[in-house]
Structure 1
Amino acid sequence: MDDVITDSRYSWSRLVLTLLVGTVINAGMWAIVVIMPAVEVEYGGSRALASLPYTLTMIGFATGNYALGRAVDRFGITLSLCVAAVLTGLGYVLATLSGSLLMLSFAQLLVGFASAVGFGPLIADISHWFVRKRGIAVAIAASGNYLSGAIWPMLLATVLEDSGWRAVYLVMAAVTLATVIPLSFALRRRLPEEAQTAAHSASMLNAKSAGLSPRALQYMLGFAGIGCCVAMSMPQVHIVALCVGLGYGPAVGAQMLSLMLLGGVVSRIISGLLADRLGGVRTLLIGSCLQMLALFLYLPAGGMVSLYMVSMVFGLSQGGIVPSYALIVREYMPAKEAGARVGFVMMATILGMALGGWLSGLIYDLSGSYTLAFVNGIVWNGMNIAIVLWLMSRSRPRVRAVAPA
């Protein structure tokens, strides 16, 4: 065993395994985005109605972040991952058996709930194993979500084209069970009690200096997360449908989504490095401002080349936003409650994605274009920036936990 518990060689190897698990199980969040046009053709209805399975996926993903985050605090990450992998695979299979849009939506609710273990709960778990490099560690762990959205749509495009969306879901069910369960046992080691005590003391000093109770800060972060993610959802959820409407086809939209999410991975890494110097609140403000700028760039874009370019800019702009919330939680809230606290804030961000995905579809149905949907996102983004500025005015220099020897 290494003499130093946090920021150790084991910590980094655990981070690699965490990233692999997240890249696989987070596919449950993105698969519905890729098959949305095919679902709309099969079941019919409006664009808003076709967005219902995605909305329930995100509601499940949101509640799963909180519920499974609490489970990780109590039972550990290994048991939580095993149970979630089985439920995710079951949700995929139930989706393939659905005969209506409503049945598919309820299957997606289960997929979203169980696959959420690969986001907030995994981020909270890895955050315990780092102190000096917590920002970059959290950013890398959170990148599993974006890598999943960037990699799997491209890998499964041929299956979707040749065999339909049900074959895609059967493949993902098999991959999830075959990879997540074995890898989860490699994460069964627990953090020693003395390391948790040191982290708890540091976070309590930070909370006292900021003059906010953990609950008050949690709710403020939740409101901020809803605002930024309503804005974030417009390009991420509807880029494929937007390209289909413009006549470019779903394959082009999937490529833009992959480009956007790969840009988000780069953004998350850079933001993680920045957060280790500036802290979570300032890093969050930078990301929120850059996201708003990118949303403005979508308004004049309409050609294929311009949409590719703006999608890349959008990905490079906003990737560091959500991990910053987890860092703020770890800086200002009790370490032993990290799973539940991070899960709650992640739940709020995902609810923002669900609300934004539905609102964008509704605005499209009412207006016949996505222009007003982008404007709607910009307004919500402005609310997010206002909350972050208020939080930044109250934040104080961070106190770091001392890694026990």
Structure 2
Amino acid sequence: MTPMSDAPSRYRWVVVAIAAAMLAIAMGQLVNGLSAFFSPLEQEFGWGRGDIAFINTAGLVGISLGGIFMGFAADRLNIRLVVLLGAAMTSGSMIAASWAAELWQLYAIFFVAGALGGGALFAPLFALVGGWFRTGAGLAIGIVAAGQAIGQGGIPFANAILIDALGWRGALLALGVFSLVSLVPLALLVRKPEPAPAAVGRAIAEPSPSIPLPHVVVLMSAAVLFCCSLMSVPLMHLVPLIQGCGVPAPEAGSVVFVMMIAAIFGRVAFGRLSDMIGAVPAYLAASAWQTALVFVFTTIDDLGLFYLFAPIYGFGYAGVMTGVLTSIRALTPAESRAGATGIILAFAWAGHGLGGYLGGLFFDLSGTYVLTFAVAVGAGVVNLVLVTTLFLMVRKGTRQAMPALVQVAG
């Protein structure tokens, strides 16, 4: 009989729930929560959509740069302190944004929110969850990613309702206060994984990555730059695209909410798929899904069809982030995983920011979203080439490693 001390700690599922809730609240604000603010900011200040989209870009650039530093910090410092910093800065930044009067102020505030808020939460929390699970990590990461999807659907929808009721300043203030009273208590419950007993650690130790860490970081960084450039286009511009068809803001926001509800199931499903067929093949499948379908949004002008198509797209698109995270876990050693995650995700967030900004810029130049979504497809094709290359390298490295593994086992 296995000693009780050798059994996996039940607290690992508490950590999964904490990470899912924190990322739902924080990343729902920082990734695409601004999408509901395009119209009110455009109407009040006369700013172009490219200018408004760059607020979100500033936040994502902040996450990308802060994530590198905070990822390395999480490898070396008390993870609870890192996450507490992220909780406090995310909340405080939303409250500060409610008082902004100039465009540059929103750029600065969202950059700080990304660097010290989202950057201290995203990579550290996903690396933490991966560390709690020696087996079945794909499902756990998928559940946390599903929590983030809830936020990315629910926050823009809630923002649209809050803006109607309180105005855009009141909506930001309410969001900041809610974040403060929810994120800080959750952060206090975060803790590092318990060390495994020596016998168990030897029995189910993580396999060694099959390709060198620098190769993984370079190739995955390039891939996520392009895949997230595609991903950000519907996240940031689907609401204004639907509003352009004469649909009111709450209904337009609800389409994104429906898409992200499907994404909840997609992230869990692709997490489980990565446990079954491998992380990189699951990542490749999800990338192909979003690349093939994203342009269809520009061919729809009926609210009912948006409701029908959005969850189809959302289920597969959602697997991309799960695939990225499970691939990082599978291909990086545990002792440097948070740092590697921070570097790779820096390029992911840079891609999010780039795609969102260019989407607004192309709309300002052309007056439609056709060019925006077409460029997104091109970025997706480049990502597919890079992920296929990674898959072939992993397969080659695994074949070369098998004789050595058999020899060791013998």
Q: Which amino acid aligns with 1:356?
A: G
State the Cα deviation string for residues 256-307 of structure 1 (Å, max 9, x = none). Answer: 1111211111110100110001111100110011111211422422222222
Give the alignment partner of residue 163 of structure 1, picking from 156, 161, 166. 166
Aligned CA distance change for structure 1 residues 198 and 351 (closer, same or farther; 3 Å) = farther
User: 1:50 is matched with which residue?
Assistant: 52
Match in the other structure for 1:175? 178
Which TM-score applies when normalising by structure 2? 0.89
Counting only pairs closer than 5 Å after superposition, residues 189-208 of structure 1 correspond to structure 2 as 189-192=192-195, 202-203=206-207, 205-207=208-210
Shift of 1:120: 2.1
Q: Give distance in 2, aligned partners of 1:287 and 1:367.
A: 30
Deviation of 1:53 after TM superposition, in Å, equals 0.7
Q: Aligned-pair RMSD on alpha carbons?
A: 2.3
Contact 1:28 1:112 in 2 (8 A): no
Q: Assess if the C-alpha contact under 8 Å between 2:154 and 2:257 holds in 1.
A: yes
Cα deviation digits, residues 18-54 of structure 1 (max 9, x gap): 2122222223313322222211222212221121211
Aligned counterparts of 2:76 and 2:260: Cα–Cα separation in 1: 32
Question: Are 1:152 and 2:155 matched, yes or no?
Answer: yes
Partner of 2:286: 287
Instruction: Report the alpha carbon displacement of residue 378 of structure 1 after superposing the two structures with TM.
Output: 0.7
Contact residue 68 and residue 343 of structure 2 kept, 8 A? yes
* Number of the residue aligned with 1:104: 106
Check the 8 A contact 2:131/2:193 in 1, yes or no. no
1:264-283 equivalences under 5 Å are 264-283=263-282
Could you say what secondary structure the match of 1:206 adopts? coil
Give per-residue Cα distances to partners, 1:63-84, cap 9 Å, x unaligned. Answer: 2322222221111321111111
Unaligned runs of 5+ in 1: 400-405
The residue that corresponds to 1:123 in the other structure is: 126
CA deviations 1:173-216 (Å, max 9, x no partner) are: 2222212222222222443276898699745x333xxxx32012
Following superposition, the deviation at residue 10 of structure 1 comes to 2.1
SS at match of 2:299: coil
Aligned with residue 61 of structure 2, among 55, 59, 62: 59
Q: Find out whether 1:351 has 2:350 as its counterpart.
A: yes
CA distance in 1, matches of 2:302, 2:99: 38
Q: CA deviation at 1:254?
A: 0.7
SS at structure 1 position matched to 2:301: coil
Shift, 1:321, TM fit: 0.8
Kept in 2, the 8 Å contact 1:85–1:177? The answer is yes
Q: Distance in 2 between matches of 1:194 and 1:226?
A: 39
Amino acid of the structure 2 residue aligned with 1:19: A
Task: Rate the CA distance shift 1:150–1:385 in 2: closer, same or farther, 3 A.
Answer: same
Whole-angstrom CA distance in 2 between matches of 1:105 and 1:41: 18
- Aligned mates of 1:117, 1:305 — CA distance in 2: 39
Mapped contact 1:224–1:388 kept (Cα < 8 A)? yes
Report what 1:253 is aligned to: 252
Number of equivalent positions: 393
Residues 70, 340 of structure 1: 8 Å contact kept:
yes
Distance 1:28 1:76, change over 3 A: farther
Identity of aligned residues (%): 24
Alpha-carbon distance in 1 for matches of 2:387, 2:279: 10
- Contact 1:122 1:141 survives alignment (8 Å): no
Corresponding residue number in structure 2 for 1:392: 391
1:28 aligns with 2:29: yes
Provide closer, same or farther for how the CA distance between residues 156 and 357 of structure 1 changes in structure 2, counting only shifts above 3 A: closer
Change (3 A) 1:200 1:226: farther
Shift, 1:123, TM fit: 0.8
Q: How does 1:3-14 map to 2 (within 5 A)?
A: 3-4=5-6, 6=8, 8-14=9-15
Counterpart CA distance in 1 for 2:336 and 2:130 is 12
Helix, strand or coil at the partner of 1:311? helix
* Mapped contact 1:330–1:338 kept (Cα < 8 A): yes
Question: How far apart, in 1, do the equivalents of 2:192 and 2:386 lie?
Answer: 38
Deviation, 1:333, is 1.4
**Aligned partners of 2:203 and 2:52: how far apart in 1?**
45
Unaligned runs of 5+ in 2: 402-410
Q: Distance in 1 between matches of 2:336 and 2:377?
A: 33
Give the corresponding residue for 2:380.
381
Letter in 2 for 1:170: L
In the other structure, the counterpart of 1:239 is 238
Specify the SS of the correspondent of 1:248.
coil
8 Å Cα contact 1:280/1:324 also seen in 2: yes
Q: Is the 8 A contact 1:89 1:177 kept in 2?
A: yes
Cα distance in structure 2, aligned partners of 1:2 and 1:378: 51
- Taking structure 1 as the reference length, the TM-score comes to 0.91
**Contact 2:363 2:369 survives alignment (8 Å):** yes
CA offsets 1:309-348 (integer angstroms, 9 cap, x no match): 2222211111011122222222221211111111222221
Provide the C-alpha distance between the structure 1 equivalents of 2:204 and 2:188, rounded to a whole number of angstroms: 27
Greater Cα offset, 376-385 or 89-98: 89-98
**Residue deviations 1:213-264 (CA, integer Å, cap 9, x gap):** 2012111001110111111111111011112222212212211111121111
Counterpart Cα distance in 2 of 1:198 and 1:41: 62
